[in-house]
A and B are shown apart, each in its own frame.
Chain A
Amino acid sequence: MTDANRIVDGTAVVIEAGAGQEGGSREPGVEDLQVLSRLLAGLLLLGGDELMRRLQDLQRAIDANPDLLWRDQGPDQGKALDPVLDLVLGLYMRGQRRVVRGARRGVGSSLQAANWLLTKADRWTDNRLARPFRRRVAARLGQAEKEVKRIRWEGRLERQQSRLLATATVSQMIDDLMAYISDDPEFNRVIQEQFGRQSKGVASVFVDNARTMTVATDNLAERVLRRLLRLTPRPALPQSPFEGKPQTMYALDPESQARGYDEP
């Protein structure tokens, strides 16, 4: 039995990695869709976890040092509508707390009531007349319970797979990007030019920067798309027979003909 399989209430629940494939057949379209859904779910889970972690850290910092609250009064303090805003926000937060508390209490009471009802029903139906019907209902309920457990287990598996997939993908993408940044001559040249540039007009510097950045992005975009389409990556810029040759076919003045290129 694989790690993915578990015994749920004495019944072996066999779920292979990639749960949800019915009949064991692998359909490429469905499989791709499921992998993408897992990736999306994983990204949401990871992002949500990270956001909650940061928010909770911040809240703990504020709780530990309440002076932080009054350090920045904000630009909209002292306006006429402030008391109304404070009142609305206070009411909203208090209402939220009450709703959560009430919901918790409601769920507890409902469970108690259901328990009481089931105990009573159990006592009333424990007779010769109702017993066959009771057995059938019990069997159905047992099946439903097993099904619910199975679905929950599938969900748990999917959650783990999604997290794993998202972590691996994000990590790989960052590695790729870093490798690209550190290896790509264009990107390196951009960085060098940012530090080495002197005595040029603002517009010309801006245009130069824009051109350099887009050239670097040209290669990056191609690399990403080729990876997605599982094409072999281009080792370098595509070879052009016009490389380095002056483009004098459009030159109108002798100076640009001699220069052979367009200045920004």
Chain B
Amino acid sequence: MNHEPAPRRTLYGQYAGFTTRMVAFVLDRLIVIGLLAVLVPAWRFVEDSFSLDLFTEVVGLSLVGAVPLVFESLYNIGFWLVAGQTPGKRIMGVRVIRADGRRVGLRNAIVRYWAYWISTFLFLGFLWILVDGRRRGWHDKLAGTVVIYSWPEVDLSARPRVDRAWLQRLTGRE
């Protein structure tokens, strides 16, 4: 009889799950906040040093007010376009691609960023990842993207076992 081995499952290329993506999301927010904490005082320093006139100051102040939003959108859209992943996603080993497997285009990236705000409403768009068949949030659906794991293969067929009896003894539930 021909016993063919079971097909080898790997994590690499699978749809990424909620926790990994949320950790990546939080890391990105922290990175953005960190960068802004440097950029905004730097702009103020430039303003003070060059004694800018009233018009320039007004423009500068409005820029400072809009900086967080503009900077965050550029950060996300730029990284998705160039690498398919922001630094936070890179750390967590996930990548954004189009649902058909191609790289993210400008339109996808822009829609995805602004759809983040829709997903943020009651957090439902993000929670959708937990129940969706392809682990897509609302922003993924709107932008036509998916998020996949992008780190080395994991052999899911090799299944070392944890001794259940040992676990039961450990938790005192014999």
Residues of A within 8 A of B (CB): 174, 178, 181-182, 185-189, 191-192, 207, 210-211, 214-215, 217-219, 221-222, 225-226, 229, 231, 236-238, 240-245, 247, 249-250, 261-264
What are 17 contact pairs spanning A and B, CB under 8 A? Answer: A182-B162, A182-B163, A211-B20, A214-B20, A214-B92, A217-B17, A221-B19, A222-B130, A237-B14, A240-B13, A240-B15, A242-B97, A245-B101, A247-B150, A249-B97, A261-B12, A261-B150
Contacts of B159 in A (CB 8 A): 185, 188
Residues of B within 8 A of A (CB): 9-20, 23, 82-85, 90-93, 95, 97, 101-103, 127, 130-131, 133-135, 146, 148-154, 156, 158-164, 167-168, 171, 173
Inter-subunit contact B156/A185 (CB<8 Å): yes
Complex partner residue of A226 from B103, B131, B151, B163, CB under 8 angstroms = B131
Contacts of A207 in B (CB 8 A): 91, 93
Inter-subunit contact B161/A242 (CB<8 Å): no
Contacts of B18 in A (CB 8 A): 218, 221-222
Question: Which residue from chain A places its CB closest to the CB of B18 in the assembled complex?
Answer: A221
Inter-subunit contact A222/B17 (CB<8 Å): yes
Contacts of B14 in A (CB 8 A): 237-238, 240, 242-243
User: How distant is A101 from chain B, measured CB to nearest CB, in Å?
Assistant: 40
The distance in angstroms between the C-alpha atoms of A211 and B92, with both chains bound, is: 6
Inter-subunit contact B97/A247 (CB<8 Å): yes
Complex partner residue of B11 from A215, A217, A245, CB under 8 angstroms = A215
Contacts of A181 in B (CB 8 A): 162, 167
7 smallest CB-CB distances across A and B, nearest first, come from: A218-B17, A242-B13, A214-B20, A217-B19, A243-B13, A249-B103, A182-B164
User: How distant is B89 from chain A, measured CB to nearest CB, in Å?
Assistant: 9
Inter-subunit contact B162/A250 (CB<8 Å): no
Question: Which residue from chain A places its CB closest to the CB of B157 in the assembled complex?
Answer: A185
Inter-subunit contact B131/A225 (CB<8 Å): yes
Contacts of A242 in B (CB 8 A): 13-14, 97, 101, 146, 148
The distance in angstroms between the C-alpha atoms of A226 and B127, with both chains bound, is: 11
Contacts of A174 in B (CB 8 A): 171, 173
Contacts of A247 in B (CB 8 A): 13, 84, 95, 97, 148, 150
Whether A249 touches B162, Cβ cut-off 8 Å, given contacts A210-B23, A240-B13, is: no
Contacts of B150 in A (CB 8 A): 247, 261-262
Inter-subunit contact B164/A240 (CB<8 Å): no
Interface centre among A185, A191, A192 (most CB of B within 10 A): A185
Inter-subunit contact A240/B19 (CB<8 Å): no
Interface centre among A214, A238, A245 (most CB of B within 10 A): A214
Contacts of A225 in B (CB 8 A): 127, 130-131
The distance in angstroms between the C-alpha atoms of A1 and B84, with both chains bound, is: 68
Q: A214-B92, A244-B12 are in contact. List 14 more A-B contacts (CB 8 A).
A: A178-B173, A186-B154, A211-B151, A214-B20, A217-B19, A218-B18, A225-B131, A226-B130, A237-B9, A247-B95, A247-B150, A249-B97, A250-B84, A263-B152
Inter-subunit contact A264/B93 (CB<8 Å): yes
User: How distant is A196 from chain B, measured CB to nearest CB, in Å?
Assistant: 10
Complex partner residue of B153 from A238, A241, A244, CB under 8 angstroms = A244
Contacts of B20 in A (CB 8 A): 211, 214-215, 217-218
The distance in angstroms between the C-alpha atoms of A226 and B14, with both chains bound, is: 19
Contacts of B131 in A (CB 8 A): 222, 225-226, 229, 231
The distance in angstroms between the C-alpha atoms of A126 and B83, with both chains bound, is: 96
Inter-subunit contact A238/B134 (CB<8 Å): yes
Inter-subunit contact A250/B13 (CB<8 Å): no
Inter-subunit contact B135/A238 (CB<8 Å): yes
Contacts of A237 in B (CB 8 A): 9, 11, 14-15, 156
Contacts of B103 in A (CB 8 A): 249-250
The distance in angstroms between the C-alpha atoms of A264 and B92, with both chains bound, is: 8
Question: Which residue from chain B places its CB closest to the CB of A241 in the assembled complex?
Answer: B101
Inter-subunit contact B15/A249 (CB<8 Å): no
User: How distant is B86 from chain A, measured CB to nearest CB, in Å?
Assistant: 12
The distance in angstroms between the C-alpha atoms of A244 and B10, with both chains bound, is: 6
Inter-subunit contact B160/A214 (CB<8 Å): no
